[in-house]
């Protein structure tokens, strides 16, 4: 590789790592230059601006995904062997699987089309290798391989508490549960959490901001635009919120309240069987899917959590989000009699399936979307539970 090309690759790698760690809106070109040990002017000799660098980083990630796939599929094997090789390849290059999922809103339509086309081509290869002549509809194969990509990349959303080898074992086990499912057989969901009506100006502002943030990204939406969406001036928004960050905190608090309402409903419905962790976890899956598909709030809050990391007003919100996930981990650990660290891998793998699908708007308009997401999550979490020696 020539020196200019090598330097460009290094800059892309540093940028990708920062984009994944902090979120694209919260990384400046100066931050990337500092991490790469170069001056800002030298960075601009390779890229016209930050968006140009993001596009290069995302496409480089697709290059890596294609290379990982070539290596993993070079030698035929069983489904279990192939699945493990694919996951191992992805976990060694985690940014390849995660960067586009987190930053697609900031790319141009042309860039997103190229990434989507190339990623679909890769996943078709996964499908051919994993399912062969299995009696699965094309849309089922597609849904399962996209979900597999989410499972493989789920390690980027939590701190590792297992060794790399043990995490690979756990991810492979969860992935094989996923691949044994038939999305066409997903049963309807009986559980629902109603959304609160927007009866106040404050709620209207949160609704409008949530929708705009979901469509265009937090960084690219101004307070004036939020005000215009509800028929008021930008300065009038400040009568209700002190800043755009305060609006994002409000969206997060509202989504957290909906999740907590779901928890209360699930435990209340347990009645005389509050000690059945598998049943409780099943209920939480249904309530989570309802919450994330009913409004953009939950996805917006989750996707923009780096924006709140240093905001003192958001400390309680972030703590409540951690406690919510910890409840899932505790229930799964009890249901499967496994350590919390192993259960944590499974929980984040399951949550990543629906979080990614909503973030990338994959099939979200279909009426059966929620039922299928809940079905896949339950399968990953509570597929065949291994027997435990007494």
Please, what sign has the CA dihedral across residues 80, 84, 90, 94?
positive
d(CA 264, CA 280): 11
Buried b vs exposed e over 103-116: b needs ≥16 C-beta within 10 Å? bbbbbeeebbebbe
Structure confidence by residue, pLDDT tens digits, 310-359: 677 778 888 888 899 999 999 999 999 999 999 999 999 999 999 999 98
Q: Which of the residue ranges 98-112, 207-221, 279-293, 334-348 would you say has the lowest mean pLDDT?
A: 98-112
Tallying the residues shown for the chain, one arrives at 390
d(CA 148, CA 180): 12
d(CA 122, CA 114): 12
Which candidate, 16, 18, 69, places its Cα nearest to that of 8? 16
The count of C-alpha atoms lying within 13 angstroms of the C-alpha of 95, restricted to the half-sphere facing its C-beta, is 22
The confidence band for 190, taking pLDDT boundaries of 50, 70 and 90, is low
pTM: 0.88
Q: What is the token pair recorded at 130?
A: 């994993």
Q: What's the chain's Rg over C-alpha atoms?
A: 21
d(CA 207, CA 355): 19
Answer whether residue 284 shows pLDDT above 90: yes
- Higher-confidence position of 211 and 195: 211
Summary count for the chain: helices (H), strands (E): 19, 0
Contact 267, 274 (CB under 8 A): yes
Which candidate, 217, 302, 294, 212, places its Cα nearest to that of 256? 302
Contact 250, 204 (CB under 8 A): no
Please, what sign has the CA dihedral across residues 19, 88, 63, 139?
negative
Q: Which of the residue ranges 22-26, 144-148, 168-172 would you say has the lowest mean pLDDT?
A: 22-26
């Amino acid at each position: 590789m020539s020196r200019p090309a090598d330097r460009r690759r290094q800059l892309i790698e540093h940028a990708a790592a920062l984009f994944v760690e902090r979120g694209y809106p919260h990384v400046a070109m100066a931050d990337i230059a500092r991490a790469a040990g170069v001056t800002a002017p030298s960075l601009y000799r390779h890229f016209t601006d930050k968006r140009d660098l993001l596009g290069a980083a995302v496409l480089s990630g697709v290059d890596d995904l294609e290379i990982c796939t070539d290596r993993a599929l070079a030698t035929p094997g069983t489904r279990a062997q192939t699945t493990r090789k694919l996951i191992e390849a992805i976990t060694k290059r985690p940014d390849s699987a995660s960067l586009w999922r987190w930053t697609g809103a900031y790319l141009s339509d042309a860039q997103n089309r190229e990434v989507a086309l190339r990623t679909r081509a890769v996943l078709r290869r996964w499908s051919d290798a994993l399912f062969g002549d299995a009696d699965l509809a094309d849309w089922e194969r597609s849904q399962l391989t996209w979900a597999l990509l989410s499972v493989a990349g789920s390690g980027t959303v939590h701190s590792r508490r297992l060794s790399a080898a043990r995490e690979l074992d756990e991810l492979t086990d969860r992935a094989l549960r996923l691949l044994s499912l038939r999305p066409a057989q997903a049963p309807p969901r009986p559980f629902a959490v109603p959304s609160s009506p927007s009866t106040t100006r404050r709620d209207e502002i949160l609704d409008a901001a949530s929708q705009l943030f979901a469509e265009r990204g937090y960084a690219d939406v101004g307070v004036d635009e939020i005000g215009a969406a509800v028929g008021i001036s930008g300065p009038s928004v400040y009568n209700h919120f002190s800043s755009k960050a305060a609006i994002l905190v409000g969206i997060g608090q509202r989504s957290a309240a909906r999740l907590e309402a779901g928890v209360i409903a699930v435990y209340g419905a347990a009645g005389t069987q509050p000690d059945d962790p598998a049943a409780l976890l099943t209920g939480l899956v249904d309530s989570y899917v309802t919450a994330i598909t009913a409004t953009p709030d939950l996805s917006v809050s989750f996707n923009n959590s780096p924006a709140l990391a240093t905001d003192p007003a958001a400390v309680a919100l972030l703590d409540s989000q951690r406690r919510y996930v910890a409840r899932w981990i505790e229930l799964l650990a009890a249901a499967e009699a496994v350590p919390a660290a192993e259960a944590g891998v499974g929980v984040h793998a399951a949550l990543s399936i629906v979080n990614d699908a909503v973030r990338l708007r994959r099939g979200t308009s279909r009426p059966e979307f929620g039922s299928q997401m809940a079905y896949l999550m339950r399968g990953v979490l509570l597929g065949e539970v291994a027997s435990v020696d007494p």
